[in-house]
Amino acid sequence: MKISLKDGSIREYQNSMQVIEIVKEISPGLERVACVGKVNGSVVDLRYQLREDCNLAILTFDEEEGKIAFRHTAAHILAQAVKRLYPSAKLAIGPAIKDGFYYDIEFENPFTSEDIAKVEEEMKKIIKEELEISRYTLSKPEALQLMQARGETYKVELMHELPENSEISLYEQGDYVDMCAGPHLMNTKYIKAFKLTALAGAYWRGNEKNKMLTRIYGTAFPQNAELEDYLAIMEEAAKRDHRKLGKDLGLFTLLEEGPGFPFFLPKGMVLKNLLLNYWRKIHEREGYVEIATPLMLNRSLWETSGHWEHYRENMYTTRIDEEDFAIKPMNCPGGMLVYKSEPHSYKELPLRIGELGLVHRHEKSGVLHGLMRVRSFTQDDAHIFMMQEQITDEIKGVVRLIDEVYSKFGFKYHVELSTKPEDSIGSDEDWELATSALENALIQMKLEYKINEGDGAFYGPKIDFHLEDSIGRTWQCGTIQLDFQLPIRFEAEYIGADGNKHRPIMIHRVVYGSIERFIGILIEHYAGKFPLWLSPVQVKVLPISDKFILYAEEVWKALKQQGIRCEIDKRDEKIGYKIREAQLEKVPYMVIVGQKEAESHMISVRDRENGDKGAISLDDLMVILSDNI
């Protein structure tokens, strides 16, 4: 038996071998950090038996599959601890997720944050017990009998949905058995550092008609230092929470009368309009025209586009004059109607059409999160209609535009290429052509990317841009989707150089993605301390007392006349209080005026980061502000 390792070496064995045995041969150090193996592309337990020639990779916590197995094991330790402390609890599901894991559990009595400490202590005991983790299979009737005897009704429900001849995979550690596909670590002792981080409610299977379960979140790392670093980042993230800062800074509010539908306040509208104006400026420069399409269109349009079949559960619908209508979840079909509203020649292509369109999507109440996950948002869409030979240049142009915008805000980013999903429309040939076109553009621009298999839109592959913010978190925002299907479904045409009708190819693309979400990201990225050009209030004028309000108003008016967004604090409060308030409001510059300033026609300036800058003239401040902006 020949085992080909990731480094290109080949090991030969006479008999079958467990992955862990090969790991031990390679290095004792590797044995300490190995999480799972990867055999011919499939992730397996280290206890997996190799019986024939194969490719083998050993995965540690540094690889994504290693993290998943590590944290999935931690989820099982959590469930075992819960069952020891609360034997009547019923287990639902407990997957690994980004940065951690969770387990959904039904408790007889309310589970509170005070209970978390007890569960953490029990988890530590389980880890110290160094329980071996083993996998075995049972037939469906045998597995059902086992889970019924244990009172695990949710596991029984899941098993009932499997084919009758199924072999059910189970994992066992001490007194705990769980239905699970795995893979897992070899022993509980490897979970060196963990923390239960939050409690939430979660409907069974995400359906609001089902029972509400308790979701216990946690995270786990191989070393305490890594856990401490992560918790420090989470603490910093909590300080930057855009929901709290959005309220404190008077940017937006979320009200029970409109769950998932944000209300923008005056300062929030200043910020939003600055982003929209910047968007319009650079798109006009790049040759885009702007349109607006209706908020609601009839069912036949959404059937033509494929959304009625593939996206129906996320759409809000109504009936008008005995006909079904849907509020648009996407701008694209309306954009297609605009293109079709007049004939086009090859001489017009590429035709770049932008739209700042308000869209609505029915999101479950449990996933709503501030501005990050809403039911109504403005999408900075653009659709580019082009000929096949123009594809690469247009994609490169969009990539350059996205890079310019993200650089403006100080974001680093990485790129993913998402390929054909199971729920797709169109021929394999079109999908291969579209995917190759996107990939070729990335290669020509020498952009590093990774493949995200099966995560494309139902009508075409896409390039996704994942921003990295100031504390290292990533956010998916920009996207470029190449679409052969909508032009076919809508019978879009142009007259070619040969005088015949041809089908255009279409790019869907967004830069911000959702304006609302992008604002949420910016709030957290800057911790509310927006750069001067983006700050809703750039300068706050603070008179020391009522006696100097007239001079303060003179300064305020002069700043306003120069286009500076400026406020004046006329409250009868001490100057120290006014300064603290302005600091809390994250205002970049404060202008303080009292007797000395009024007599000398000067101003005292403080900036947000460095404090007192001393007395300067108003003209000097204008120079500082204009240079900064």
String of DSSP letters for 113-165: HHHHHHHHHHHHHHHHTT-BEEEEEEEHHHHHHHHHHTT-HHHHHHHHTS-TT
Spot the catalytic one: 47, 361, 375, 586. Answer: 361
> Rg (Cα) of the chain, in Å, rounded?
30
Spot the catalytic one: 383, 420, 525, 540. Answer: 383
Spot the catalytic one: 90, 462, 525, 578. Answer: 462
Contact 89, 213 (CB under 8 A): no
Spot the catalytic one: 71, 508, 509, 578. Answer: 508
Contact 173, 203 (CB under 8 A): no
- Name every residue whose Cβ is closer than 8 Å to that of residue 291 and which is 6 or more positions away in sequence: 335, 338, 353, 354, 355
| Alpha-carbon span 22 to 494, nearest angstrom | 62
- 241 catalytically annotated: no
Listed in sequence order, the DSSP H helices in 194-331 are 224-239, 242-248, 266-285, 299-305, 307-310
Contact 483, 503 (CB under 8 A): no
Query: Which position has the token pair 């009936």?
Result: 319
Instruction: Indicate the residue type of 418.
Output: S
Spot the catalytic one: 45, 380, 381, 483. Answer: 381
In the DSSP assignment, the letter for residue 569 is: -
Listed in sequence order, the DSSP H helices in 240-265 are 242-248
**CB count in 10 Å sphere of residue 364:** 14
- 379 catalytically annotated: yes
Contact 424, 381 (CB under 8 A): no
- 462 catalytically annotated: yes
Cis status, amide bond into 183, omega within 30 of 0: yes
User: What tokens appear for 125 in the block?
Assistant: 């005991």
User: What tokens appear for 24 in the block?
Assistant: 């031990």
Spot the catalytic one: 379, 390, 485, 538. Answer: 379
- Which helix (H) or strand (E) segment is 466 a member of? strand 462-468
Contact 275, 515 (CB under 8 A): yes
- Which helix (H) or strand (E) segment is 326 a member of? strand 323-327
Q: How far is CA 30 from CA 10, 24, 58, in A?
A: 17, 7, 9
Which is nearest to 57 in space by CA: 65, 535, 128, 592? 65
Spot the catalytic one: 35, 180, 332, 477. Answer: 332
- 383 catalytically annotated: yes
Which is nearest to 484 in space by CA: 513, 457, 450? 457
| Alpha-carbon span 387 to 348, nearest angstrom | 10
- 381 catalytically annotated: yes
For residue 296, the cross-strand partners are: 327
| Alpha-carbon span 114 to 70, nearest angstrom | 26
Question: Dihedral sign, CA of 152, 155, 156, 157?
Answer: positive
Residues serving a catalytic function are: 332, 361, 379, 381, 383, 462, 508
